[in-house]
């Protein structure tokens, strides 16, 4: 079994077919197919069901995916370790993050990381649910994951919106990042009295623009409504986060956003309010227990410095 065979195998899994995988890897499709067939002969069974519209994994293929990803990750770690001697003059950092956490704090962390290691390539993948991100890290699809660990009213003494029990399991390590505040964003001409705060009940009673159930921000909205005993009045539910602020500006309703996104909305005329009590969230950076690539280890160290300064 060769590394290239495993690379071809994972490419077919990720891209859903031999042609798409060959295109992504810039290799001839017959060469890729031959390499997979050779691997299957060596293993003694088929890894894929060949279908008219692509391929699906056999049970043997499903059993192989996790190990194949980890072997390729170990190859990359070994290769990157050589570069580490030269001061991280190459390599790649793979991170999967929930959307709002990608905006803040991940964007700021990556800016500082790039200043320190400008030759390291970075790939950020999107994941709405904490369980999806944990699974991506656990299977080796991404080396690091950023999930929402909590989103709760300050001083409430109640942990809300924990990701799920998976982030505390023994096969993952992690650190919690500093707490950040969530803000209410209102349309420019909203009749709310001109103060900088809003109570949780008043927030819960408003017409709201939200993301789907299970997303971190939606969990916060649902927890607030449950706490004050008010059924949420949802006017728009959308997966398209880019349309949330335009909807607010159009007067459709209010929304809940992290500080940086809320502040950006004010540049277009929206109103940004703090809640009483304040709604806080905390991101958690997770990774598989064991050796990390030099790039990932350097990023974790940077995150630890950030957490230490909270």
Residue 132 has pLDDT above 60, yes or no: yes
Lowest-confidence segment of 66-80, 102-116, 131-145 by average pLDDT:
66-80
pTM: 0.65
Note the pLDDT of residue 170: 55
Note the pLDDT of residue 235: 97
DSSP secondary structure, 154-218, as one string = TT-----S---GGGGSTTEEEEEEEEEEEEEEE-TT--S-S-SEEEHHHHHTSEEEEPPTTSHHH
Annotated domain spans of the chain: 3-67, 92-308
The CATH class for the domain spanning 92-308 reads alpha beta
DSSP structural state of residue 277: S
Percent of the chain with pLDDT over 90: 58
Q: How confident is the model at residue 103 (pLDDT cuts 50, 70, 90)?
A: confident
Q: Which CATH topology does 3-67 take?
A: Arc Repressor Mutant, subunit A (1.10.10)
Residue 82 has pLDDT above 80, yes or no: no
Mind listing the pLDDT tens digit for each residue in 29-64?
999 999 999 999 999 999 999 988 889 999 999 999
Residue 166 has pLDDT above 80, yes or no: no
Residue 152 has pLDDT above 60, yes or no: no
Note the pLDDT of residue 77: 76
Q: What is the mean pLDDT of the chain?
A: 86
Mind listing the pLDDT tens digit for each residue in 273-310?
999 999 998 899 999 888 888 889 999 999 999 887 65
Lowest-confidence segment of 164-173, 191-200, 245-254, 261-270 by average pLDDT:
164-173
Q: Residues 6 or more apart from 53 whose CB is under 8 A from it?
A: none
Note the pLDDT of residue 294: 84
Percent of the chain with pLDDT over 70: 89
Question: What is the rounded distance in angstroms from the CA atom of residue 226 to the CA atom of residue 46?
Answer: 51
Average pLDDT over residues 164-178: 67
Residue 85 has pLDDT above 80, yes or no: no
Mind listing the pLDDT tens digit for each residue in 235-265?
999 999 899 999 999 999 999 999 989 999 9
Domain pair 3-67 / 92-308, same fold? no
Helices (H), the chain: 3-15, 18-25, 29-43, 59-85, 99-101, 107-116, 130-138, 200-204, 216-228, 244-249, 259-266, 294-308
Specify whether the CB–CB gap between 182 and 276 falls below 8 A.
no
Bigger pLDDT: 125 vs 78: 125
């Amino acid at each position: 079994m060769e590394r290239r065979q495993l690379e071809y195998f994972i490419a077919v899994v990720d891209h859903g077919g031999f042609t798409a995988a060959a295109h992504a890897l810039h290799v001839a499709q017959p060469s890729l197919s031959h390499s997979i067939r050779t691997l299957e002969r060596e293993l003694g069974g088929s890894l894929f069901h060949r279908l008219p519209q692509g391929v699906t994994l056999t049970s043997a293929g499903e059993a192989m995916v996790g190990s194949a990803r980890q072997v390729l990750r170990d190859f990359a770690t070994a290769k990157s370790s050589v570069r580490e001697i030269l001061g991280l003059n190459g390599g790649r950092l793979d991170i999967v993050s929930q959307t709002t956490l990608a905006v803040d704090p991940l964007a700021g962390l990556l800016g500082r990381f790039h200043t320190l290691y400008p030759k390291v390539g970075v790939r950020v993948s999107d994941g709405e649910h904490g369980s999806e991100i944990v699974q991506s890290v656990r299977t080796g699809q991404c080396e690091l994951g950023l999930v929402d660990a909590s989103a709760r009213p300050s001083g409430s003494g109640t942990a809300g919106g924990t990701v799920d029990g998976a982030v505390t399991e023994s096969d993952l390590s992690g650190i919690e990042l500093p707490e950040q505040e969530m803000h209410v964003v209102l349309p420019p001409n909203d009749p709310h009295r001109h103060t900088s705060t809003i109570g949780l009940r008043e927030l819960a009673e408003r017409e709201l623009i939200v993301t789907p159930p299970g997303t971190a921000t939606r969990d916060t909205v649902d927890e607030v409504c449950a706490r004050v005993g008010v059924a949420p009045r949802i006017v728009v539910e959308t997966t398209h986060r880019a349309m949330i602020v335009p909807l607010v500006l159009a007067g459709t309703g209010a929304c809940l956003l992290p500080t940086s996104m809320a502040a950006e909305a004010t540049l277009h005329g929206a109103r940004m309010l703090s809640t009483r009590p304040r709604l806080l969230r905390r991101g958690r950076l997770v990774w598989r227990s064991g050796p990390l690539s030099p790039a990932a280890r350097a990023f974790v160290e940077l995150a630890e410095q950030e957490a230490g300064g909270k």
